[in-house]
Amino acid sequence: GTAVSIINWKAIWQQDVDVSYQQVKDLYPNTWVDTYMFGKNVAKDAGNPIAQQDRKFPVEELMAEGFGTLTTQKQQDARAKGVWKDGKWSVMFTRPLKSSDKHDPSFVAGGKSAIAFALWQGADEQVGARKQYAPWVNVEFESANAEATAP
């Protein structure tokens, strides 16, 4: 009965942003197609957000309120940056505490919320429902007047 906000980052999108958009032939060099739609990108023309060739950020904001309701948000406020180093990804996500998007949760300094993570490892054939995930974790946002202290 309550919608959840989802921020989705993909390594392939990071490559698109950092290097260049990868065509199907780049990803699958042995692919053969016998019919082309006269140079058109049908998925992009249909508004499919996955088909973006001019992606500026490797992240997508979505929302869902149960199975089969996953929807891309029209307003995209989240940002992310992934770095591959020593055989693993490190990814940082950012999003304003408050947003003009009615589908984004509003966070307040000193407030609390919850967050969960899901990870897909393609090399382990994890796709769709096959993934690693963490249960909900409570988070507390630092108060606006709290002084930063070094550890």
CA distance 119 to 133: 6
Task: Decide: 141 and 111 in contact? Cβ < 8 Å.
Answer: yes
Q: Which helix (H) or strand (E) holds 50?
A: none
Both tokens of 31, joined, read 């692919």
Average pLDDT over residues 21-49: 73
**Could you give phi then psi for residue 112, rounded to 5 degrees?**
-130, 155
- pLDDT reported for residue 62: 93
The HSE-up count of residue 70 (CA atoms within 13 Å, CB side) is: 9
- 44-48, 112-116, 131-135 — which is least confidently predicted? 44-48
Other C-beta atoms closer than 10 Å to the C-beta of 55 total: 17
Task: Decide: 111 and 130 in contact? Cβ < 8 Å.
Answer: no
More confident residue, 53 or 130: 130
More confident residue, 149 or 143: 143
- Report angle CA 81, 84, 88 to the nearest 5 degrees: 115
Percent of the residues in the chain that have a pLDDT greater than 90, as a whole number: 38
- pLDDT reported for residue 150: 46
DSSP three-state, residue 45:
helix
Average pLDDT over residues 70-78: 91
Average pLDDT over residues 54-75: 90
**Could you give phi then psi for residue 13, rounded to 5 degrees?**
-70, -35
Report pLDDT digits (tens) over 103-118: 888 888 999 999 999 9
**Pairing state between β 79-85 and 71-72:** unpaired
Report pLDDT digits (tens) over 12-33: 899 999 998 877 778 788 887 7
More confident residue, 69 or 122: 69
- pLDDT reported for residue 60: 93
